[in-house]
Amino acid sequence: MGGDPVLDAARAAVLARFRWVDGDADLWPVLRDPAALHAVVRALAEPFQDAHVDAVVGIEARGFVLGPAVAVELGAGFVPVRTDGGMLPGPVVRRRADFDYRGRRRELATRSDLVQPGDRVLLVDDWVEVGAQALAARALVEQCGGELVGLSVVVDQASDDARAALPLVRGVVSAAELGPSA
């Protein structure tokens, strides 16, 4: 493997448990297995251990599962990003994302008081495809006065355009490693 034992353990856990189900990606078995979940959380956090992260932002739904665990690993707080009108009591900022891999545009929202000016923020999610939601999340963080320092995902399939527009993007596995969906 690649020589990083934390990343190698996470990669092996994902590749052993990931499945395509009727053409859809199924990462839930990875999260169900305690050892695999631990390995993935450690691998998502590791590249950002020295980045002085104040908050981890996670996009609904799997970002809500992975984000808090990575936040604990980094000694940071967690900030939810809801999609398509999900409830967030308090002051909210919103951003409409560009088209995603399925051709949909989603509205993302977060609480403006949970990201403070000057906060260093890490975005955590399960998968980045074209990067539309990641770019919208970055805009939300910046609208609140924070700085997005990176994107840490289980599966990296970021487009070249998104990768150029985002800070450091780190994935546990690439989409190509998962094989065909059919």
* pLDDT-derived band at 143, boundaries 50, 70, 90: very high
C-alpha distances (whole Å) from 143 to each of 108, 110, 136, 156 are: 13, 10, 10, 25
Give every CB contact of residue 38 below 8 A, 6+ residues apart in sequence: none
Query: Do 124 and 72 contact (CB within 8 A), yes or no?
Result: no
pLDDT in tens, 78-88: 999 999 878 88
98, exposed or middle or buried, with CB in 10 Å at 0-12, 13-18, 19+?
Answer: middle
Residue 136 parent element (H or E): helix 132-143
Domains of the chain from N-terminus onward: 45-178 (3.40.50.2020)
pLDDT at site 155: 96
88, exposed or middle or buried, with CB in 10 Å at 0-12, 13-18, 19+?
Answer: middle
pLDDT in tens, 12-41: 999 999 999 998 899 999 999 999 999 999
pLDDT in tens, 107-133: 899 999 999 999 999 999 999 987 889
Does the pTM of the predicted model rise above 0.75? yes
Residues counted in the chain: 182
* pLDDT-derived band at 182, boundaries 50, 70, 90: low
Query: Do 25 and 18 contact (CB within 8 A), yes or no?
Result: yes
Count the Cβ atoms, other than its own, within 10 Å of residue 47: 17
Residue 119 parent element (H or E): none
Angle, CA of 122, 123 and 124, to the nearest 5°: 115
